[in-house]
Amino acid sequence: MLTLQVIGRELQGEVVLLTLAHADGIDLPTFSAGAHIDLHLAEDLVRPYSLCGDPKDRQHYQLGILKENQSQGGSLAAHALNVGDRIQVSDPRNLFALEASAGHSLLIGGGIGITPMLAMAAELHAAGRSFSLHYCARSRDGAAFISLLEQAPYADRVQLHFSDSQRLNLTAVLTDVPANTHVYTCGPVRLMDAVTEQAAALGYRPEQVHQECFSAEVETGGAAFEVFAATSGITVQVLENQTIVEALAQAGLKVCVSCKQGICGSCLTDVLEGEPDHRDSYLTDEEKADGDQILLCCSRAKSARLVIDL
Ligand code: FES
């Protein structure tokens, strides 16, 4: 965990751009494009946000955070931060990394989903690698990052698309590409689903398409079961409409959580006995099949009892 200071705050439309640095000016832990950090905004209010600055910049972490009307507190608390405020953040973690072997990287960001793409574009440009970036927004007015993209050293690789003009032609964008292109998409679920479906229809292999989930609709309910936290020696009953995290908290055992939606991996725990019922979008299909790890914020058990390493 790091304690950083807000040294820059700029509002662009509904997006606040925050620049964080160490108060003593020391270098921050390195990150690669696509990484995020968790902001600890309040007790039990931890939210992951993509790093959108240049990964080569060791002094600053930059974030772009949308003010969300449906916010459960995270974006509002982030928007309330001011220059001089201190905040605790996690080390960077990357669940959306660039594929090193790609012949070309096609970045498609919608709305606030552009943030990881900015770091990706900076990294790809610095490495002299082939890429193009498509940014979809409702309209030019009020869209964040437009001037940054238009003035970037890679501006010739950027295409802007607006709902009221220059709409994205997904088929054309996905068709006219070099061999071994990898596609990265982040933004509204509708956009990510369209990219994934269109890419599959055009013959892209699943491993060529990467997406970053900011939120997922996850069904956490199901039949009750028992969990034994082996290290703590605590047994709990997880009721039908309760998560393992909630049941453990009632017994006084706190689990570190961030997204609470099976996305970020904060609550990943080893399974010692029993069969998990995976509900997350963090583990790969192979890892789920192995059955030796579980995300406690959303997943359940297929067996009557789970023993976990906690
Ligand atoms: S808290 Fe994010 S995966 Fe569980």
Return the pLDDT at 71: 65
Report whether pLDDT(215) > 80.
Answer: no
* CA 1 – CA 29 distance, rounded (Å): 11
Which residue puts its alpha carbon closest to atom 3 of ligand 1? Answer: 262
List C-alpha distances in Å: 305 to 82, 168, 235: 47, 49, 10
* CA 292 – CA 2 distance, rounded (Å): 30
Return the pLDDT at 44: 72
Residue bearing tokens 């309330």: 80
pLDDT in tens, 139-187: 998 899 999 999 999 999 999 999 887 889 999 999 989 989 999 999 9
Give me the sign of the Cα torsion angle 290, 294, 300, 306: positive
For the domain 2-94, what is the CATH superfamily, name and number?
A: Translation factors (2.40.30.10)
Pick the closest to residue 52 from 136, 140, 113 (CA basis): 113
- Between the CA of 271 and the centroid of ligand 1 the distance, in Å, is 16
Report whether pLDDT(89) > 90.
Answer: yes
Atom of ligand 1 nearest to the CA of 282: 3
Average pLDDT over the chain reads: 92
Residue 172 DSSP one-character state? H
At 121, the amino acid letter reads A
Task: Report the run of H or E that residue 197 belongs to, with start and end.
Answer: helix 189-201
- Tell me what the mean pLDDT of segment 51-60 comes to: 97
pTM: 0.80
At 252, the amino acid letter reads G
Architecture of the domain spanning 104-212: 3-Layer(aba) Sandwich (3.40)
Mutate to test the pocket of ligand 1, among 267, 300, 308 (most ligand atoms within 8 A of CB): 267
Return the pLDDT at 264: 75
Return the pLDDT at 74: 83
Atom of ligand 1 nearest to the CA of 295: 4
Q: Which two tokens stand for residue 174?
A: 């996905």
Return the pLDDT at 216: 61
Q: Which two tokens stand for residue 89?
A: 């953040």
Return the pLDDT at 195: 96
- Between the CA of 44 and the centroid of ligand 1 the distance, in Å, is 12
* CA 157 – CA 163 distance, rounded (Å): 20
- Between the CA of 36 and the centroid of ligand 1 the distance, in Å, is 14
Q: Which two tokens stand for residue 173?
A: 């964008």
Domain boundary assignment for the chain: 2-94, 104-212, 225-308
Return the pLDDT at 166: 81
pLDDT in tens, 99-154: 999 999 999 999 999 999 999 999 999 999 999 999 999 999 889 999 999 999 99
For the domain 225-308, what is the CATH superfamily, name and number?
A: Beta-grasp domain (3.10.20.30)
- Between the CA of 256 and the centroid of ligand 1 the distance, in Å, is 8
Mutate to test the pocket of ligand 1, among 40, 212, 243, 263 (most ligand atoms within 8 A of CB): 263
- Tell me what the mean pLDDT of segment 259-279 comes to: 90
* CA 109 – CA 117 distance, rounded (Å): 7
Report whether pLDDT(214) > 70.
Answer: no
Enumerate residues lining ligand 1, CB below 6 A: 257-260, 262-267, 280, 282, 295, 297
Q: Are the C-beta atoms of 280 and 201 separated by less than 8 Å? A: no
Residue 291 DSSP one-character state? -
Pick the closest to residue 41 from 11, 9, 72 (CA basis): 72
